Chains A and B, each alone.
Chain A
């Protein structure tokens, strides 16, 4: 799966135990230390070294539900073994592919893979600068200019955010989502998505099911009136030499 995350930092969770009760207690303890830490924190769950015996599918469901109950926005998994793939689909978890080697498995909450301090993000725009400042000041692994919207965006509704927009849900036909940064839809995109609306050409749009009425990046737009080859597939939309490029993200 090809996914360019750009300046979207994500936290990867590596579990010490697969017992949902143990996890529940650990999360409660961490929440007592830093109450706002998990609020809508977009995160990935690492499934690197589990097999059918050490982590059956029902157990994964319980774990993810526990994480979500504590306010973590678990949006995907890394290094997902085959037997957990159907469960991930049911839990609306995207597959973020293999975990890069050499990472410390012991840290329970890793630093984001794409740190907000990276030169790419910092030199990107004003938004990115603000993000860097706030992120280091609060020492949170998540940029404050990412908004996670949990739930569907229905026909007639509009969602705008100055920053990156994560939608965990679908965007119905007749709905519109706009962001100055990236837009990521974990669900079907059937309405309109406009990324980089203040002119950022590096913004991207990604979604798990593509059936958009319109996509636009930095003002370059494309309408979809007829059936097309990438219908209902996972796609990444980006701008290359002022041209919108839509790629299937499927392997």
Chain B
């Protein structure tokens, strides 16, 4: 039985797709058979970040509608052979996803995978609700700014009322992932601090991903940033996934570069 994880945020452009790609790749790197599903129907994006857009033949909607099989639709990652991508359709609209259809596909994937990572579209409407409905765990991707935090709070409310687990009187396990964190701007008071966000959202902090040029470079190359193990963002994602898997790792990249220079030199 696979564990179903949704990567969600409410707001767009905060780093859900970047996180889905990095998270799924790190899980696979650590030996877990993983599939990452793009729920952003109409705005295909995950396949670009995963670097497999040229290999998309069939998509999620084809699969739901019985026009293709799982074997024909899943795309094997170019670097890791225990990682697969289920791409979204570019041509259909979001209503093409139904509870029954999604459930059927998830059940089928569940038989052979350890983790199913669902990359949610932005918003709180149909598409986002479809992506989170079956989730057992949620990674709430939040940027350190008021509007993003507010939208995350909203999506947490939806997880707690409209997910399948909530309907059964149970709870989706929530993890806060603060991304695009810029300590200089926090210090100048232009952005919320980790503590501010933790206090407002009141869910456990899984990790902090710094604002990093490595992310842009990685998505342009179609290689998820965790493969760039020299980069700050790559290491931060690796930490977050290790923590997710139960390892105890201290939070890094919370302070300005100058302060953490020694730590970096000595591999802290």
A155 touches B202 (CB 8 A): no
Contacts of B124 in A (CB 8 A): 156
Contacts of A39 in B (CB 8 A): none
CB closest chain-B residue, reference A187: B202
Asked whether any CB of chain B lies closer than 8 Å to the CB of A174, the reply is: yes
- Against A, the Cβ 8 Å flags (1 = close, 0 = not) of B199-231 are 010100000000000000000000000000000
Chain A interface residue count, Cβ-Cβ cutoff 8 angstroms: 13
Asked whether any CB of chain A lies closer than 8 Å to the CB of B47, the reply is: no
Query: Which of A157, A173, A190 has a CB less than 8 Å from the CB of B157?
Result: A157
Chain B interface residue count, Cβ-Cβ cutoff 8 angstroms: 12
Binding stretch for chain A, among B105-113, B115-123, B148-156, B237-245: B148-156
In the complex, A173 Cα to B157 Cα: how many Å?
12
A156 touches B154 (CB 8 A): yes
Which chain A residues in 142-181 approach chain B with CB under 8 Å? Answer: 151-157, 170, 172-175
Tell me the number of A-to-B contacts counted with CB atoms below 8 Å: 32
Which of B124, B150, B151 has the most chain A CB within a 10 Å cutoff? B150
Main secondary structure of the interface of A (DSSP, over half): loop
Query: Which of A157, A174, A175 has a CB less than 8 Å from the CB of B161?
Result: A157
Query: Which of B150, B154, B158, B202 has a CB less than 8 Å from the CB of A152?
Result: B202
Contacts of A155 in B (CB 8 A): 150-151, 153-154, 157
A174 touches B154 (CB 8 A): yes
- Against A, the Cβ 8 Å flags (1 = close, 0 = not) of B51-76 are 00000000000000000000000000
In the complex, A174 Cα to B161 Cα: how many Å?
16
Contacts of A154 in B (CB 8 A): 153-154, 156-157, 160
Query: Which of A153, A170, A174 has a CB less than 8 Å from the CB of B150?
Result: A174
Which chain A residues in 104-118 approach chain B with CB under 8 Å? Answer: none
Contacts of A172 in B (CB 8 A): 153, 157, 200
B157 touches A156 (CB 8 A): yes
Contacts of B160 in A (CB 8 A): 151, 154
In the complex, A153 Cα to B156 Cα: how many Å?
10
Which chain A residues in 168-208 approach chain B with CB under 8 Å? Answer: 170, 172-175, 190
Contacts of A153 in B (CB 8 A): 157
Which chain B residues in 134-150 approach chain A with CB under 8 Å? Answer: 150
Which chain B residues in 141-185 approach chain A with CB under 8 Å? Answer: 150-151, 153-154, 156-158, 160-161
Contacts of B158 in A (CB 8 A): 156
Contacts of A156 in B (CB 8 A): 124, 153-154, 157-158
In the complex, A224 Cα to B156 Cα: how many Å?
25
In the complex, A156 Cα to B151 Cα: how many Å?
9
Contacts of A151 in B (CB 8 A): 160
CB distance from B170 to the nearest CB of A (A): 13
CB distance from A248 to the nearest CB of B (A): 20
Contacts of B154 in A (CB 8 A): 154-156, 174
7 A-B pairs in the complex with CB atoms less than 8 angstroms apart: A153-B157, A156-B154, A157-B161, A170-B202, A172-B157, A173-B153, A175-B157
